[in-house]
Chain A
Amino acid sequence: GEDVEQSLFLSVREGDSSVINCTYTDSSSTYLYWYKQEPGAGLQLLTYIFSNMDMKQDQRLTVLLNKKDKHLSLRIADTQTGDSAIYFCAEIPLSGGYNKLIFGAGTRLAVHP
């Protein structure tokens, strides 16, 4: 089936690292994505990882993929107040003909001083 699950809230102190976790069900997904949505704004593609990779790093962002456990995580180093937003994990499964993204419910990240 197609399902993506995320925890709903995460609160971190400014300067600390944030880790947002996600589990997905469809092992056929070739790409897994992280999107950011700021209040009142659209969806911003943050990063993605191809399913044959274990890790991808892009500046302050590190994506880890455990394909065996179908677990994806996004680590934000040195979290800033500007990182406060909702973060969505998404997969694009073969069952959908690679034509549709399946999103999690989103994790609301709150960064406090």
Chain B
Amino acid sequence: DSGVTQTPKHLITATGQRVTLRCSPRSGDLSVYWYQQSLDQGLQFLIQYYNGEERAKGNILERFSAQQFPDLHSELNLSSLELGDSALYFCASSPQPGQGGTEAFFGQGTRLTVV
């Protein structure tokens, strides 16, 4: 158990809908990272928050947004969903602003299926 908790584990929704994925970081970790794993793109970094503020942005679509709350949990919001958004979404956390070293631990992921 990495200590990073993601909910829900599975989500099935229709095209055009909006969903929210939730991540609770390991106790004491201030950074949260979101990654998307899809069949065609592999594992891609989406976005990072550190202590409530956006710190780094990757290949995140404009239809997607995220935030980190004062209790340090994070939510990834996906809107106007398309079939191609079907993927496994991972959250990771670390105590520092960067992810280097031993702190690169991931949650179990949320599998999103858009039908």
Contacts and interface: CB of A to CB of B under 8 A. Distances in A.
B42 A106 contact: yes
Nearest to A43: B106
Nearest to B103: A45
Contacts of A33: 104
Interface string B94-111: 000111111011111100
A97 B100 contact: no
Contacts of B48: 99-100
A33 B92 CA distance: 14
A99 B102 contact: no
Interface of B: 2, 33, 35, 42-45, 48, 55-56, 58, 90, 97-102, 104-109
Nearest to B31: A99
Given A100-B45, A100-B58, A92 B99 contact: yes
B22 to A, nearest CB: 15
Interface in A44-68: 44-45, 48
B97 A43 contact: no
Interface of A: 30-31, 33, 35, 41-45, 48, 88, 90, 92, 96-106
Contact of A42 (B45, B98, B100, B107): B107
Nearest to A29: B100
A35 B109 CA distance: 14
Contacts of B101: 31, 48
B106 A97 contact: no
B19 to A, nearest CB: 19
A100 B102 CA distance: 14
